[in-house]
Chains A and B, each alone.
Chain A
Amino acid sequence: MRLRSYASIAAGILLPLTLACSGSSSSSTTAPSKPAKTLTYTDPAGTGWRLVKDASSTSTRIVLDLVGPSGTKTRGVGFNLQAEPKAKFGTFANGLPINDTGVYQLLSAAADPNEPIALVGGVKPGNVLSVGIYQKDRAQPAQDSGAPLCQIAVELDPSKGLESGDHLALSVVKAKVIPEDIGSASDDLYTLNQKMRMADITIATGSLSAK
């Protein structure tokens, strides 16, 4: 799974380079580089798991909502999103690179604002954003995944040398959800163990470009 994902990233990176080389061979001069000033994002097609642009995005910060297929109920989701080094993952007011949209029940019934919540994120080597959001304990009911479940952000960072026209490949290299059926504590241990396994999903990404 991971090997296949990396291969697809490599293809995504190689393609623009090839185009650039063929373009330069037809001209005796190279056009001066132009620092990028804005980011644009085009949503992917389809109704499955996907990252779509949120209305709160600005010209230099693209906020992406994770949306799932309507009618599919889940209890949490985690994924790893790899981006080119020139892309910078942004953070939210919580200090994390992931933001809760309120669909999943992160607090217990007591709703103690100080209790630990399973909202976690970081940027691993290779510019891999790793984020997850999971419901509080097992007692909470599964939620419909057709609404924005969480948010991530990509920002324009002038220090990274991004140029106008650059295409920033995004690729989800791992993604899993906690499905609705996780078994019951009253199930026999074998059945329960079988049900306590995450389900793989594929998250589609759109096209991210700099201008």
Chain B
Amino acid sequence: MSQTARIQKPRFNAQTWIILAGIAIIGSVAPFVEPTLVGQMTVFWIMVLLSYTWDTMGGQMGYNSFGNVVFFGIGMYVTAAIQVGLYTDLGTYTAAKGGIKLTLTLGQYFTGLAIGLVAAGLAGFLAALLIGSGILGLRGHYFAIGSLALGIFVAELASGWELIGAGSGLVPPLYPGVESARSLWLYFGCFALAGITFLVLQWVYSRRFGLALNAIRDDEDKAEAMGLHTTRYKTIAWAISGIFLGVCGGLAGNFFQFIDPRDTAFSGATYGVWMVLMVVLGGKGTFWGPLIGALLFHVFKELFWSYLLGLQYIALGLLVVVIVVFFPEGIVGWFRERFPHWFGERVDPPPEATAADPVREPAE
């Protein structure tokens, strides 16, 4: 695939930390500067989370999963079910279809949420381990379609399961305090989680584990021949992204305040494909690519929603086609092809171009 030899410098240099600190400051100040847009910004950080967790599989490892949305949805359901189930009977709560309003104290609410989020991370991790050991031995397109079917399969299961509300969905308990406080802590929850996810994932990539993932991306057969247990690495990588996706789903479920099995939790046609699109747009397997992709995509999406209301999904479908067909290497990837030294990569010139090489005469 790549014709040039790339030597990676350590990714965290002073410049990176300055940019990260800048983002952290902007991210913490933004909700106070523009309080009306807090909801928007929360969605943005959820998008960043989705794109970085997808990048673990799709970008670093070259496994194009359309099923990551499963862990997102599992996180949503687990968190909401625990939040409700701790204080009342889940079955009667869902059977009432939103008829029962759960009134909790602040302490109860946050206890439920905390336990729920931990359980969501755990559930995402375990689900990824279980499913991954099943289907991660698959290569290429079989994995892509298998994971696509998996997402819809889980959505259909969830919309038939009475305990979690079946097709009519599940409502997480209402926040007992003021609305503005709710949106603010949800914003900071998503923001902090995005930051932690980013740092943990980059740390993972900088270890031997990350090298193994890249080796699997570049040539899986050779990686296996070199003694890597590729299926094990793939499964663990998926499980790591499963943890963060699960917690992210738990927060997102509380943010949306309504969990629909097909449209929010296991929504292959929205979040499932958006996360792929954001990473492709930004640049697969790059440091900043998923962030840039998420930012641009979020802007696109909001513009579509504001100016093309009713046609927004058509426009998004068109956007998928256009980006994939005309811009497959993404923004960061595009710059990387042209200015590799910006990325701390040394490019070895191709051997026949060097002056020291004797010019070979074509045999006639």
| A and B: bona fide binding partners | no
